[in-house]
Chains A and B, each alone.
Chain A
Amino acid sequence: MNPAIETRELTRRFGKFVALDQLDLSVPRGAIFGLLGPNAAGKSTAIRLLAGILRADSGEADILGLNLNTQAEQIKRRIGYVAQHFALYPDLTVDENISFYGGLYGINDAQRRHKLLDLYDLAQFSKRRAGHLSGGYQRRLAIAAATMHDPELIFLDEPTAGIDPVTRKELWDLFYALSAGGKTLFVTTHYMEEAERCHRLAFLNRGKLVAQGSPGDIRNSLTGIQVYLARIAHNPDLNRDLMQTAGVQMVNQFGDDLRIIARNSVSREQLQQVTDRYSEQPRDVVPVETSIEDAFMSITSEPAASQ
């Protein structure tokens, strides 16, 4: 079977700004595909292009085996899209929102509606106005409304932004359930721990694709890089000193943990020497496994460092 999404050199400019630069992406069917990138990397542009509400300046894309440039309207019947800002009508009830969005696709199926309300734990609120729901439930509703027509491919633009970890986990359970049901999910996020949850990932930086693969692939792809950990409290002078050491790419503080991303040209001893200058008792600098966040930081910091 052809992939859910396949793009070739998809490009979109806004004036002089190249929001998306020759994107080549492949999303297998049934996968949860995560598109990661810092703010303004082109994630929303990419998802809007693929959902057919923004036109590409050049390049091609096949969505579910249909050509995006010529068969956009046919594609629309088979995809779902949950916008970044949760496009719900706050003055309509939960029930009315779902009915409306179903109606846009010609779906008027009370059974399906009840099934979705149960599935997304919304049945108890069916008569409540969408504007009076909590953030987490608004998102459930947005997803329920966008999947009323049972799309094969669902785009979710930052579905968990600003959501507490418990609700986030619950939303991910829903995504896994959809994926298990054979649906393909295309999710943008900038939460690293969410990246680990995806089957496949792509990193976007300044409109360009910088890495693509499974989370494991991406972690292992960082050849020539070693990540070190030191238990040391935040110290701006230490950070500056480390960054000035040739070959150190990034220092990242997590409470009392300092993660140092460095090229292989930098030795552990070199780093140890620098940190020793700033602590009364010696703190061991130890090599650790690369996390997705390390990979993300390393990849996205590279062009900046080379400038």
Chain B
Amino acid sequence: MIFALIRKEFIQLLRDPRLVAFIVVMPIILTTLFGFALKLEPDNVRMAYVNKDPSMFSNLIETNIWNEGYFQLYPVDEVADIQNEIRLGRARAGLYIPATFSADLVENNQPTVQLFIDGSMPSLATAMDNNSSAITDEAVTADMYFSDPDEPAAIIAQDPFYLDIDVLFNPDKIETWFFLPGVVGILIMQVALILTSTTIVREREGNTLEQLLVSPMTRSQFIIGKIIPYVVISLIDFYAILGFSWLVFDLPAPNSHAVLLLLAVTYLAALISMGLAISTISQTQQQAIFISIFVLIPSILLSGFIFPIEAMPSYIRPVAYIIPFTYFIDIIRGILLKQNLLVELLPQFLALLAFACLFTSFSILRFRKTLA
């Protein structure tokens, strides 16, 4: 008896070619993707620098950083610019060499070189912290000791200059603050995708789709009518999870609640239209859930949520930018941790909006008012 059941289950599984594809192909694609992507060796981390002291010594520091290959330097004018570049996410780090650097160095006054680090991504901040040794490397400092042969041997300071590390935004590198905003986004993505990706398939499986098709309702009405209730429900869910995080984990409040709401709405619109698009291409609820998971896992691992995008090999990076969650992460960290303004986050908002429009149009075009 049990063999009859086992046999039947195998036959049913193998009869569904898409399911077979998901069972075999999905793990292969994901393994390949993550195998290449998930190595935590950031390089080309962008660093804004201000060198007010164009001297041999400051050049020595610069050159050594370049050679190390970890930071990618580009010049800005003032210290304030460094902070701004980091706030806007254009740089992850900054370096400031004051005008009096070589003068103080010659005088053995131990000048200070300022290193700024973006604390909103603690794992990256720690890595940068470790990699900043290039600045105080012996190759740099060896030529920076000055002693007057005519004078009695002076007590030479251990290091010719100080490196002052300033962690901006989330100075304590609290991992919770880094992860929690993303966790909210992940949980919402899971709810929204699973709910909506099965919604049209369920009508099909329950035979109610046929009854909807005979009605005069248009394709757009059908798709929009499916999107709106799920946006509302997910929105409530989003604020519930976020509110809980504020209460329990002391997550910082956003600088603007209006921008947060805008984020929630655009992000959910993108997710739910994506879920619907999945629903229009799935034949069974099982397939829909498989595709949702197929979307969900790379979103978690390749969006900069856990591993900085900078840490991914350059050929994997484009994948990060076709994931809506990548933009959500940027925006929510921007408004919770970095006090970004709406206008500074405009590209990310436009990206989310584009996803929403793309998936909605796809769903409308893909949804037929006739049976196969």
How far apart sit A87 and B206, CA to CA, in the bound complex (Å)? 7
Interface contact B370-A104, CB-CB below 8 Å: no
How far apart sit A83 and B208, CA to CA, in the bound complex (Å)? 9
Contact of B211 (CB < 8 Å), options: A52, A73, A79, A101: A101
- Known contacts: A81-B214, A104-B212. The answer to whether A53 contacts B369 by CB under 8 A is yes
A127 part of interface (Cβ distance < 8 Å): no
How far apart sit A52 and B370, CA to CA, in the bound complex (Å)? 7
Interface contact A73-B216, CB-CB below 8 Å: yes
A88 part of interface (Cβ distance < 8 Å): yes
Interface contact B211-A146, CB-CB below 8 Å: yes
A55 part of interface (Cβ distance < 8 Å): yes
Interface contact B208-A105, CB-CB below 8 Å: no
- Interface majority SS (helix, strand, loop, mixed), chain A: loop
Q: Which residues from chain B contact A101 at a C-beta distance below 8 Å?
A: 211, 215
Interface contact B216-A81, CB-CB below 8 Å: no
Interface contact A54-B371, CB-CB below 8 Å: yes
Q: Mark B175-216, 1 if CB is under 8 A from A, else 0.
A: 000000000000000000000000000000011111111111
Q: Which residues from chain A contact B209 at a C-beta distance below 8 Å?
A: 87
Contact of A53 (CB < 8 Å), options: B208, B216, B371: B371
Interface contact A76-B215, CB-CB below 8 Å: yes
Q: Which residues from chain A contact B211 at a C-beta distance below 8 Å?
A: 81, 83, 87, 101, 145-146
Q: Which residues from chain A contact B206 at a C-beta distance below 8 Å?
A: 87, 89-90
Q: Which residues from chain B contact A53 at a C-beta distance below 8 Å?
A: 210, 213-214, 369-371
Interface contact A83-B207, CB-CB below 8 Å: yes
Q: Which residues from chain A contact B215 at a C-beta distance below 8 Å?
A: 76, 101, 104-105
B154 part of interface (Cβ distance < 8 Å): no
A263 part of interface (Cβ distance < 8 Å): no
Interface contact A76-B214, CB-CB below 8 Å: yes
Interface contact A55-B207, CB-CB below 8 Å: no
A172 part of interface (Cβ distance < 8 Å): no
**Interface size class for chain B?**
10 to 19
Closest Cβ of chain B to A24, distance in Å, is: 23
Number of interface residues of A (CB under 8 A): 25
Interface contact A51-B214, CB-CB below 8 Å: yes
Contact of B217 (CB < 8 Å), options: A83, A87, A104: A104
Interface contact A52-B214, CB-CB below 8 Å: yes
A48 part of interface (Cβ distance < 8 Å): yes
Interface contact B216-A83, CB-CB below 8 Å: no
Q: Which residues from chain B contact A85 at a C-beta distance below 8 Å?
A: 207
Q: Which residues from chain B contact A81 at a C-beta distance below 8 Å?
A: 210-211, 214
Closest to A77 in B: B216
A278 part of interface (Cβ distance < 8 Å): no
How far apart sit A101 and B211, CA to CA, in the bound complex (Å)? 9
A86 part of interface (Cβ distance < 8 Å): yes
How far apart sit A88 and B206, CA to CA, in the bound complex (Å)? 8
Interface contact B207-A79, CB-CB below 8 Å: no
Interface contact A87-B216, CB-CB below 8 Å: no
Closest Cβ of chain B to A39, distance in Å, is: 18
Closest Cβ of chain B to A124, distance in Å, is: 24
Instruction: For chain B, residues 205 to 231, give those with C-beta under 8 angstroms from any C-beta of chain A.
Output: 206-217
Closest Cβ of chain B to A56, distance in Å, is: 10
Given A51-B214, A81-B211, 7 additional A-B pairs, CB 8 A: A52-B214, A53-B210, A54-B371, A76-B216, A87-B207, A88-B208, A104-B217
A interface residues (Cβ-Cβ under 8 A, vs B): 48, 51-55, 73, 76-77, 79-81, 83-90, 101, 104-105, 145-146
- Can you offer 27 A-B residue contacts whose CB atoms are under 8 A? A48-B371, A52-B370, A53-B371, A54-B371, A55-B370, A76-B214, A77-B216, A80-B214, A81-B210, A81-B214, A83-B207, A83-B210, A87-B207, A87-B208, A87-B209, A87-B210, A87-B212, A88-B208, A89-B206, A90-B206, A101-B211, A101-B215, A104-B212, A104-B215, A104-B216, A104-B217, A105-B216
B interface residues (Cβ-Cβ under 8 A, vs A): 206-217, 369-371
